[in-house]
Structure 1
Amino acid sequence: MSLAQAERAALVDTLRSVGPDAPTLCAGWSVKDLVAHLVVRERRPDTAPGIMIPAFAGHTEKVRAATADEPWDELLDKLAGGPPVYSPLKLVDRWANLAEMFVHHEDVLRGAARPDQTWTPRELSDELQQALVTPAKSMSRMTLKNSPARVTLRTRDSRDLVTLGSGDEVTVIGTPGELVLFAFGRAPVDVVFKGDDRAVAAVRDAKRGL
């Protein structure tokens, strides 16, 4: 079983335990809304442009909303089964879906948390933490390139993963998993900021994510 498959299975277990109406970190989405997003992402390739391109977002949301009306257990079974054979994600599941499953799992686990509260993350294996280094780098290159400061993502063992933006220096320190969540714009996250107070506040408050 790949790490992506293991994280998918863990996510499905969490979904079954919290139920379809629980909150998530995705604004306006219940757990069932989030599951519909994941199912559509893997089973409706025609909706992919709408995830990145605003002009196509209406179609993507229409399909997702319709999918959210399907029975809960059927949606969970589809998600648990992974990408179908016709999905472009089938052959690249272990790479394309690791961060997707991890981030959305945390969206559910932290769904009722306040963005400003202190969060104690679940314990991840060293193997999973190391595997999340690559998505931390790749996602931050997209979400931090226009940062209001020059931001360095640094692991707790003092590895600098990426430096982006311009201006005052701000260092964000955390595990690879928490740095992935920071790059995706999630909160709460268990990271430490170092730098000028104003620059840190600007980075903390800046919009991230796609």
Structure 2
Amino acid sequence: MEYGGNNLKSIIIDQQSQKQRVGYHLIKRCFDFIASLFGLVILSPLFLAVSLAIKIEDHKGTVFYSQIRVGENKKKFGMFKFRSMVSNADELLATLLQQNEVDGAMFKMKEDPRITKVGKFIRKYSIDELPQLLNVLVGNMSLVGPRPPLPREVSDYSEYDKQRLIVKPGCTGLWQATARNSVGFDEMVEIDLKYIQKCSVLFDLYIVFQTVRVFVKPNNAY
């Protein structure tokens, strides 16, 4: 499947139609709650192993990392992740912004010096994202949806880009499960808007299946 392309900024989301999809949103929320609760129980041994590895490499830092993100209707929330960087990563970011390798309102750097050895491994296999199941359980994220942006990223959004904020962000999504870091910011927005246009129970299940494949065969995650 190919996404993106030259015909960018051509998708306009009908927000009213999205709000009226009560049945889909109810099924999605029920599935999110049950799947996230089940996932947290089943994955608890992995959570313990990763937590120990993070502490052994850097005993001074925390295991989990909570970062303010922007969710549905621009509401801010704390998103949980396993800590994959040094404990003062946010302070070091200002010195690295000029080395950003992605165009637009998003920071990505393939050889980011802030990433720890354990962090590099858990990022490659997207294990660092698993604590977001807690966000799904409480309801400020969904299993499937657009990547939740940082407030500083949203401050650079155009009105067109803000369309991706009309739905709940997801642990995974069409961009994360397919193109990932192989495309720029504008292409990512276009992929997210295509997901919002096309979203359905079956399409969400397809994306979850694609995400499982990424765990087995990592894509461009870093």
Q: TM-score normalised by the shorter chain: which range applies? A: under 0.3
Larger relative contact order (Cα-Cα within 8 Å, sequence gap ≥ 6): 2
TM-score, structure 1 as length reference: 0.27
TM-score, structure 2 as length reference: 0.26
